[in-house]
Structure 1
Amino acid sequence: MKAYYQNVEFWHLLTLPIYFIMAYLLVTMIAKRILLPDSKYLNVHFLAVLLFYLAIGLIDFKFKLIPFFPDTNLFTNILETGITPDNQSIGVKIGYKFLAIPIYNLSLKSIFNYFLFNVLFFQLGLIFLAGAFNRTYHLTDVWVQRIFLILAVFIPSVIVYSFTPLRESYFVLALGLFFYGMTSKNKLNIFLILGVVLAGILRIQLLLYFFIVIGIQMVVNMKLSKKAILGIVIVLIPFLFIALNYLAKSIIGISISPESLALFRNIQRMNYFESGVTYPEVDWANWLDLFLDFPGLFFQFLLAPFPVIIFIPFWTKLAYFADGLYLLLILSISLFYIKHWNQLGLWLLYIGLYVAMSAFFEFHLLGAVRHRLPATLLVTFLAAQCLAYYLPKFRWIFKY
């Protein structure tokens, strides 16, 4: 039996319906405030989602449906004892401890109620992301948000990490809050602040990504011509590099140079080498070396767990394999909309930037699948946009 199921009591199941109702009321209330008006559909959608996830959780308790991840014992122990080992990162010692433990206590120390909070945070993150996409492209039709919410329900990573005491639900909530806040008319708002704070205390690399996205959004908001924007970028490149180098040193403790990036990645790889699923060492003596390796690293991260640079028997890890297959499905659907991608240039830039930044640091096959989740969610909007464009004849299925 999994570590977090060993202390399950009968009364935990008795409190589950109460938490289920509270989660449903909260998620529908927020969805109706954030998303385009679609009250009847949202009521049905989130009731179905919560019932679907509840069924998965109960089946997992009996038949071990969700895999047991290497870090799960660590995070289970932190939840149950409140003690964080000294060798953990700031994201664990501060972010996880001061978020997860209060939520665990609020769950009455019931792992089922805690997992229900995980599902809630995932869904709230999706809601805020959909609201941000609606704002970015001034959508008035509910179909893109409907299809996105449906596709996101079945993303294997979302399902799997809803039922582990890991941090992925918090990351997705931070991502959603940040993008929703960034697309607000008020440039400084509670959503943006919460997203940045959550990223800062959970995963420092995500915070660096947020700062770059804010800079891109500031340039876009100037509403200049493409030539003018290109000229500004060229002029600002030295200053941007200095700023990013300072942030990298302050946030993750390394400078932006080929040698330091290679050293950081290779040291991390050595720590996990015995797992058997680390990527090869890199040898970057100059920017040309890094530039030549970049395409392989980019697609290696994006398509994980499928091999790009090195062959690893990926099919032995069923959950990761399923996530890779689902991403390939989403990407394949998105390609049918490729002639309209010029309309989604800003969103494509956000996706490419996240994958590019993460690819430089990712040294582990299974870690790549886990850390790719934000990019998977952003890519899902492309598939949703495509399906909403090409499948209007099936809309009668969802009429109420």
Structure 2
Amino acid sequence: MEFWHLLTLPLYFIIVYLVLTIIAKKILLADSKYINIHFLGVLLFYLAIGLVDFKIKLIPYFPDTNLFTRILETGITPSNQSVGVKIGYKFLAIPIYHLTLKSIFNYFLFNALFFQLGLVFLAGAFNRTYQLKDVWVQRFFLILGVFIPSIIVYSFTPLRESYFVLALGLFFYGMTSKNKMNVFLFLGIILAGILRIQLLLYFFIVIGLQIVVNLKLSRKAILVIALILIPFLFVALNYLATSIVGISISPESLALFRNVQRINYFESGVTYPEVDWTNWIDVILDFPGLFFQFFLAPFPVIIFIPFWTKLAYFADGLYLLFILGISLFYLKHWNQYGLWLMYIGLYVAMSAFFEFHLLGAVRHRLPATLLLTNLAAQCLAFYYPKFRWVFKY
């Protein structure tokens, strides 16, 4: 960090703060005073972490950090990288890096901006989906989102996570709009398409699910239609998966993908076991373990790895359990949020089939964590009036 980077920091801090609060006030329920205070506190919190980390290393080192730093500094992307890196990252991150006058600290401020904007759009989408009017739901969601370890950690790395969260928020906010063809939906889909193809496939399935729900049919009618359409849906999904991800939906191809990737990363010591899938029965039998192995990473489900040695990942796992624990207090009301639960379950189910790496699972689980945080916020807002007297003292 150069001295002049510190001189420009206040200017970028103000710009990020203004952009964040202006957009938040447009997207969220009217709560102007709280929004001003909240995001000022958030940015000061991240500023303090960044300045402390500059002297005392708090943020862990990631193997991809050098790669993405070189791309930022040189503008050159290695030929062996995915489309999401060669196109998405290069044409998003590099212009922002130059916009920040090549100050990595100012660049991290924009990381925090994109993360927080993603949270704002997700809160707005949840408000729209369930016609919420209680500002405490979005307040609790934003507060819980500040302390998610993955968001804190990846705000201070040049990786792509902030862009993924922004894409997720834009997509869900756009999808919950009355006007189904809108700029937010298209921006979310485009970002996913150029950043991570798997996320784009998830978006398409969610859109299909939303179309079925909007038909407002009885459960029996939906079940009959689903049984009739399953063969056609499978063909369409297989075409999308083959075209977008390059993997056909078959037990053998899914197993081959996982096992080959596992071999490539075996020396890391934190890869999941090989799978042996020759038919769909094998996949079905393994599915519950894979589901919870991904969702609860880094805690052991199928395998045992000393997860506590990776403090940042361990902290993220603990926070996930904390969010899940809060949500379970609201279990008897979960039937009202069936659609949101399907979004969570669908994301975890899709990701679980492809995930072969313990630390990768923690990193890639973030969208599911954020969607679950909406339910935790709803739970806290529901019980808050009963314990409001505590805040008088």
TM norm structure 1: 0.97
d(CA) in 2 for partners of 1:396, 1:150: 20
Deviations 1:13-61 (A, max 9, x none): 1100000001111100000000001011101000000000010011111
Structure-1 residue corresponding to 2:57: 64
Structure-1 residue corresponding to 2:222: 229
Whichever residue aligns with residue 84 of structure 2, its letter is G
d(CA) in 2 for partners of 1:33, 1:398: 29
Specify which of 380, 384, 390 is matched with residue 391 of structure 1. Answer: 384
Structure-2 residue corresponding to 1:203: 196
Listed as ranges, the matches of 1:137-152 within 5 Å are: 137-152=130-145
Does 1:108 find its partner at 2:101?
yes
Structure 1 unmatched runs, 5+? 1-7
Structure-2 residue corresponding to 1:131: 124
TM-fit CA distance, 1:393: 4.2
Whichever residue aligns with residue 172 of structure 1, its letter is V
- The 3 A distance-change label for structure 1 pair 398 and 354 is farther
TM-fit CA distance, 1:398: 8.6
Structure-2 residue corresponding to 1:263: 256
Whichever residue aligns with residue 159 of structure 1, its letter is I
* 3-state secondary structure, aligned to 2:321: helix
d(CA) in 1 for partners of 2:46, 2:277: 45
Whichever residue aligns with residue 190 of structure 2, its letter is V
Does 1:19 find its partner at 2:12?
yes
- The 3 A distance-change label for structure 1 pair 398 and 81 is farther
d(CA) in 2 for partners of 1:145, 1:237: 37
TM-fit CA distance, 1:231: 1.5
d(CA) in 1 for partners of 2:215, 2:381: 30
TM-fit CA distance, 1:395: 4.8
Whichever residue aligns with residue 342 of structure 1, its letter is N
Structure-2 residue corresponding to 1:40: 33
Specify which of 331, 344, 366 is matched with residue 351 of structure 1. Answer: 344
Structure-1 residue corresponding to 2:173: 180
Does 1:9 find its partner at 2:8?
no
Percent same amino acid at aligned positions?
A: 85
TM-fit CA distance, 1:396: 7.4
Structure-2 residue corresponding to 1:296: 289
d(CA) in 2 for partners of 1:222, 1:247: 24
Whichever residue aligns with residue 34 of structure 1, its letter is I
Deviations 1:282-327 (A, max 9, x none): 0000000000000000000000000111100000000000000000
TM-fit CA distance, 1:157: 0.2
* 3-state secondary structure, aligned to 1:391: helix
Listed as ranges, the matches of 1:238-257 within 5 Å are: 238-257=231-250
TM-fit CA distance, 1:397: 8.5
TM-fit CA distance, 1:217: 0.4
Deviations 1:165-214 (A, max 9, x none): 00000000000000000000111110000000000000000000000000
Structure-2 residue corresponding to 1:52: 45
d(CA) in 1 for partners of 2:260, 2:96: 34
RMSD: 1.1
Specify which of 266, 274, 285 is matched with residue 278 of structure 2. Answer: 285
Question: How many residue pairs get matched?
Answer: 392
Structure-1 residue corresponding to 2:317: 324
Listed as ranges, the matches of 1:150-165 within 5 Å are: 150-165=143-158
d(CA) in 1 for partners of 2:88, 2:389: 45
Structure 2 unmatched runs, 5+? none
* 3-state secondary structure, aligned to 1:213: helix
Whichever residue aligns with residue 175 of structure 1, its letter is L
d(CA) in 2 for partners of 1:52, 1:398: 23
Listed as ranges, the matches of 1:81-92 within 5 Å are: 81-92=74-85
TM-fit CA distance, 1:340: 0.3
Deviations 1:362-384 (A, max 9, x none): 00000000000000000111111
Does 1:215 find its partner at 2:211?
no
TM-fit CA distance, 1:224: 1.3
d(CA) in 1 for partners of 2:240, 2:128: 29
> Which runs of 4 or more aligned residues in structure 1 lie more than 3 Å from their structure 2 counterparts after TM superposition?
393-399
Whichever residue aligns with residue 343 of structure 2, its letter is Y
Deviations 1:75-130 (A, max 9, x none): 00000000000000000000000000000000100001100000000000000000
d(CA) in 2 for partners of 1:372, 1:398: 34
TM-fit CA distance, 1:277: 0.2
d(CA) in 2 for partners of 1:296, 1:275: 22
